[in-house]
Structure 1
Amino acid sequence: MILKKVAALFLTAGLAVGLAGCGDDGAKNTAPAAEAVKTIKVGVSPVPGGDLMKEIAPVLAKEGVKLESIEFSDYIQPNLALADGSLDANLFQHKPYMDDFAKEHNLKIESLVPVFIAPIGIYSKTLKTPTDIAEGGSVAIPNDPTNGSRALLLLEHAGLIKLAADAPFLKSPADIVDNPKKLRFIEVEAAQLPRSLEDVALAVINCNFALGAGLNPIKDAIAIEAKDSPYANIVAVRTGEGTRPELQALKRALTSAEIKKFIEEKYQGSLIPTF
């Protein structure tokens, strides 16, 4: 009888050890899966970048990539944060702006993939067409070189000014050679341009800030950039890091057929997919 009790105790202890061992194996088996999840931080403008991140987050999660979307309201911090490692990527700018900013600040960043064109537009609280502006009227344009240049080209196309034929790639108000209505140009931080509409006759506003202010570029702009614009918004990454698997997953998600359909249906032509 005693022998049977001893045997039973040994058997129970053996089962306990065995079960504990199974528990350890289970923990070891689940650990790699947890470690396999990669987190990427992507800097975006609230609209449309924030919208796109919400759409692709579930897709990336299925590939083991956790997406953290960080919203910025300016055009400076997202590139600085990318360069210093606070972000893994950003989506808010076109390549000419990125190249100019990187050169000025000595940053090593590059384009991963173009995603959409966001046409820049001319807006007004009072005018129906740009040529309705009175002599001496004020026009607000972005104060950064690339978008300021882009705005001046649009104003030239609208018939308000003429730029020097030999002007550099990045134009400024100094390159205006004909200004028949003696318009006054006010350079404003891009994010503040929608607010400037209260104080100026015309404002040339980037698409993302127009959308963020409740303006529809297709319906509300009185003139808009052509759809064949070379200023496609890109995903930017640090130089040489574009091959990281998690960034390749981001690239695939943002250029999928599902996202193309989302852009076309949600923005109704105010954003144009490049893929």
Structure 2
Amino acid sequence: MKKGLALLLASVFCVAAFTGCGSSSKETTAETKTETVAEADTVKLTVAASPTPHAEILNAAKELLAEKGIELEVVEFTDYVQPNNVVDAGDMDANYFQHLPYLDNFNVEQGTKLVSAGAIHYEPLGIYPGKSSDLTNIPEGAEIVVPNDATNEARALMLLEANGIITLKEGAGLNATKNDVAENPYNVEIIEMEAAQVARAVADADFVVLNGNYALQADFNVEEDALAKEESDSEAAQTYANIVAVREGDEERPEIKTLIEVLKSDEIKSYIESTYAGAVLPIE
């Protein structure tokens, strides 16, 4: 009898143990499922960007994107090559640092297939003082440093032409290089330099022509410090809006469309206008 009772009690304990294990397993499964659903509701986007203003604008958009279920990671680059390479390789989802003419030229030269997902802002190119500070009294043989990439050099030369410093060959336009200078009344020497390095030449050159983001990094403001700048109605202003670039086909991804929607929102437009005081202008 005692032996039978002992066996019965042992059976009860086994059943209880298995029931307890089963309950614990179900709870763990439920918790895991809840966590998986929560994770599935959040999409992570990685975007390569120039530090100023692009990364700053993206960081300002993080909270708005989080409200829409997108976790944004911003990775900063200081050159104009790697941001396209990492997107083309699939290491990152998008980049934000360039305008469409630069991207088109990059695709041709590098064999990449990147496209614009949307235009966000425009940065007026400016002529800044170096050893000289008067565009009405340019020294004979003055040295003027310009960006050396194809699209930004043309843009710089067009700005110099607009201010009477040189005259370009007819039709050179957005494809101009310094070899297209037709008239050079001051015999200026145009020095081509990688865009990120131009600001460092301020102490040695008479004038420099800076991209908006590199001007900001060098603590220049186009409204306050530039001797001349691209006007809003210029051909360059209509052409050189900064874009978010992605691999061909990715522009249709819902999370990429949401990124563009947020970057073009009234909140981000207000951030751009209040932060950069004319050095960066939102695209309508």
The question of a shared fold, defined as TM-score above 0.5 by the shorter chain, is answered with yes
**Mean Cα displacement is larger for which, 135-144 or 168-177?**
168-177
Q: SS at the partner of 1:270?
A: coil
When Rg is computed on C-alpha atoms for both structures, the one with the higher figure is 2
Report % sequence identity. Answer: 37
Q: What does 1:1-275 align with in structure 2 at a 5 Å threshold?
A: 9=13, 10=15, 14=19, 17-167=22-172, 169-228=174-233, 229-230=237-238, 231-275=240-284
Distance 2:180 2:20 in 1: 86
- For each residue in 1:50-107, what CA deviation from the matched residue of structure 2 results, as whole angstroms up to 9, or x when unmatched? 1012111222223222211111111111112211112211111111111111111111
Greater mean alpha carbon deviation, residues 255-264 or residues 23-32: 23-32
Please state whether the residue corresponding to 1:133 is helix, strand or coil. Answer: coil
**Amino acid across the alignment from 1:264:** E
TM-score scaled by length of structure 2: 0.90
In 2: Cα distance, 1:39 partner to 1:22 partner: 28
Q: Which blocks of at least 5 consecutive residues in structure 1 are unaligned? A: none
Q: How many residues align?
A: 275
Contact 1:122 1:130 (8 Å CA) reproduced: no
Letter in 2 for 1:57: K
CA apart distance, 1:19: 4.3
| TM-score normalized by the length of structure 1 | 0.93
Q: Say whether the 8 Å CA contact 2:150–2:175 is kept in structure 1.
A: yes
- The CA distance in 2 between the partners of 1:173 and 1:243, in whole Å, is 39
Rounded to whole Å, the distance in 2 between the matches of 1:27 and 1:76 is: 42
| Cα distance in 2 between the residues matched to 1:163 and 1:44 | 33
Contact 2:151 2:175 (8 Å CA) reproduced? yes
- In the alignment, the residues of structure 1 paired with residue 70 and residue 94 of structure 2 have an alpha-carbon distance, to the nearest angstrom, of 14
CA distance in 2, matches of 1:153, 1:36: 48
Mapped contact 1:131–1:160 kept (Cα < 8 A): no
Q: Secondary structure at the match of 1:73?
A: coil
1:227 offset after TM fit, Å? 1.8
Q: 1:73 to 1:20 in 2, by over 3 A?
A: same
Residue 7 of structure 1 and its aligned partner are, at CA, apart by 9.6
Preserved CA contact (<8 Å) 1:137 1:184: yes
Instruction: Tell me the secondary structure at the aligned position of residue 102 of structure 1.
Output: helix
Give me the CA root mean square deviation. 2.0
Q: Deviations over 1:120-165 (max 9, x none)?
A: 1000134333232201110000101100000000000111111111
